Structure 1
Amino acid sequence: MKKTASLLFILALIISCQQKSTFSEVEKANWFLGRWENKTPEGTFSEKWKIENDSVFFGESHYVVKNDTIFSETVKLIQSKNSLLYIVTTIPPSNGVKPVTFKLTSSTSDYLVFENPVHDFPKKITYKLVNKDSLYAEISGDGKKQGFPFKKAD
């Protein structure tokens, strides 16, 4: 009886350890959630992120100048097996432009790097959590880069 109880305990311990090791890649971006804004004299660039389900975060990006939306896109962070994909779709999709997929290539608890080396621009998208109310996003590639400091808006 003691052997059976010991084996059951060991089996339960192994299963619980395996469950903890199946950490979802999309959870690395929990700090994205909410609304973020970059207000400048020229206009406001905003991103709003929410949980779509346990393996997908949905984001919307807009650049607004004097009540006119100059640029708009949606982004999905999708857990695909052991990878995290950042899939961008412009709104409205123009001239047959298809969504562009970037793959998570590096991460820490406050820094995420997504890359697509065959895309024209950007080839790299990074997000850095500066503090709980501030993050810095950057797009780069082929010697060019553009940064976006965001403040939490909600």
Structure 2
Amino acid sequence: MPSSTFSGTVSTPKVSVAVDMGHPFLNLTVDSFLKIGAVGVTKSLAEDTYKAIDKGSLSKSTLEHALKKMCKEGVYWGSVAGVYVGTEYGIERIRGTRDWKNAMLAGAATGAVISAASNKGKDTIVVDAIMGGGLATASHFLNNHYFY
């Protein structure tokens, strides 16, 4: 009996921007700021597009608000990523090893710093530090295939 097979691959386009700041710490921090900042901008754009379509109207003030929100989200997400990547790099250099503990410590430090910079209370800073450490550790485990 004749048979046939189909095979192929699907890949996404890859856009890469290289920024050379002269030091690996700065290169990683700026690179993560730009990449994750773009994710924040895209998230905000998608939300505002959905709201405009749902509302059925678009005005100049709506566009201005959307642009301000996109910039704010991009800077916020980029800042969080930059602080995290820079902190993780520093911890890795100090400890001399690359493991989940670096991710946990960097996530906790990032959560605390971003929370403190947002003028939140002492209890919220601790909760954000715990959440940041937990998320970063989980991300490290998922990215390094510990579960399968």
User: Greater strand share, 1 or 2?
Assistant: 1
User: Greater helix share, 1 or 2?
Assistant: 2
TM-score bracket relative to the smaller structure: under 0.3
TM-score relative to the length of structure 2? 0.27
Task: Give the structure, 1 or 2, with the largest relative contact order (CA under 8 Å, sep 6 or more).
Answer: 2
TM-score relative to the length of structure 1? 0.26
